Amino acid sequence: MSARRHSAERGFRECLGPLAGVLADEALTDLHRNADGSIHLLRYGADPEPSALRVSDAEAYAIIRLAADLADSVVTENAPLIRSTLPDGSRFQGVVPPVSSAPLFSIRRHRARRLTLDHYAVSGILTPGQRDRIRAAIDRRANILITGDTGVGKTTLLNAMLTEPAVAACRLFVAEDTREIQADGGDVVQLRTSDTVSLRDLVVTALRLRPDRIVIGETRSGDTAIEMLKAWTTGDRGGFSTLHADSAEGFVIRLRTLLQEVVAGGVDALIAHGVDLVVHLAATRSGPRCTGLARVGWRDGLWVEVEAPGSEPSSADPSLPVPAIPVPAIPGSPVASPPVASQPVELPPVGLTPVPAPPVASPLAASPPIASPSLTELSGPGPCGPGPSLAEPVTQEVAR
């Protein structure tokens, strides 16, 4: 450790003053200092709340400058934005005038305690059935996308998935913007972006390092999304990533939007072939909850099959039909070819509850259907074992 960084870490801890005690709270997820000097806190599973503490402009400037030192950077009027990683792994974002009226900052606290899927089931975030289905998907090398709002705990759940023995036994490649992913396996390559190296660059690099599984901290841009899906569909299955989306089935709109930043069309087949399972987290009054698991497939177009909480198979009827939601093609885009080269990863039989997909405005006619395997064929035995019976699915078509 350089003398400058050591001095910056010591100065930063001292400069925090009473905020250091607040940041020691295990339940705390976010701390914000607004331009008026007020402090606002967010604890896991709770609503934001104001704090009685206040931080003066001079103190805020000192905290931001020391955070910049931790990133080997400086903050000035010409460079008023600073992003840094604190000594404990927490994320720091600072802003100074003229972008803001006064210095302000936000700290996303790093969760030191690492949870497991069993912890999630005991706490009620996952149902036991959801835990078992996620675990089975991991064992069968499904590509898993964790969706939800900001601060709901997507990365924390991803870290819990990485504790599974099937992951720890693999050569793991991790790419992220800030060091949040905790991968403790014996063969891990963990890289982070810089001012000159983008997340897309890291994903492209992954393919030359022979990973068994590829983990992307968060999919924020189209170039990252396209490279991730290309990597996930070239033999490196069993990947993980997080994505901002408002529902398990609504991830399609978000992912399409990102992909359309870099490609004109044909993205539906890539999504259907690249993403096997979507796990959606939502903030509720009782704390974060998994409000749905979604399976992704292809039948003359992109289909999403959603399992609502509590719809796990019962001993009396373990194989109810799965209602599949057809997703309209992108308006004006070329007809995408059905995915090839591998079968979709299927999950164990389960009874699912219909969840309507959000309406998608489409000024043009959807792309015409093309010859492709039937949904019954798609539900047959594959890398993840036998899928649910789909011979007579209950079909709900999204409004075009």
What residue type is 97 in one-letter code? P
- Residue 44 or 249, more confident: 249
For residue 160, give both structure tokens.
């819990």
Domain termination residue (choose one: 108, 134, 160) = 108
Kindly report, residue by residue over 24-39, the tens digit of the pLDDT.
Answer: 888 888 999 999 999 9
Kindly report, residue by residue over 52-87, the tens digit of the pLDDT.
Answer: 999 999 999 999 999 998 888 899 999 999 998 888
The pLDDT of residue 239 is: 95
User: 44 and 72: one domain?
Assistant: yes
What residue type is 175 in one-letter code? A
CATH number at residue 8: 3.30.450.90
312 Cβ contact list (under 8 Å, min separation 6): 127, 128, 129, 130, 132, 133, 350, 351
User: 58 and 128: one domain?
Assistant: no
Kindly report, residue by residue over 116-152, the tens digit of the pLDDT.
Answer: 999 999 999 999 999 999 999 999 999 999 999 888 8
User: 15 and 75: one domain?
Assistant: yes
| Cα 375 from Cα 338, distance rounded (Å) | 12
The pLDDT of residue 381 is: 41
User: 167 and 20: one domain?
Assistant: no
The pLDDT of residue 283 is: 87
Query: Is residue 312 predicted with pLDDT exceeding 80?
Result: no
In-domain check, residue 205: yes
| Phi (first) and psi of residue 104, to 5 degrees | -145, 155
User: 65 and 138: one domain?
Assistant: no
Domain that holds residue 127: 117-378
Percentage, residues of the chain above pLDDT 90:
44
User: 136 and 250: one domain?
Assistant: yes
Instruction: Provide the 3-class DSSP secondary structure of residue 216.
Output: strand
The pLDDT of residue 114 is: 78
Domain termination residue (choose one: 108, 142, 175) = 108
Query: Is residue 101 predicted with pLDDT exceeding 90?
Result: yes
Mean pLDDT rounded to a whole number for the chain? 79
Percentage, residues of the chain above pLDDT 70:
76
User: 129 and 228: one domain?
Assistant: yes
208 Cβ contact list (under 8 Å, min separation 6): none
Name the strands in the sheet holding 240-244, side by side, starting at the edge strand that comes first in the sequence.
188-192, 172-176, 213-216, 240-244, 144-148, 277-284, 287-298, 302-307, 324-326
In-domain check, residue 34: yes
Say what the pTM is. 0.71
Kindly report, residue by residue over 187-215, the tens digit of the pLDDT.
Answer: 999 998 887 898 889 988 988 899 999 99
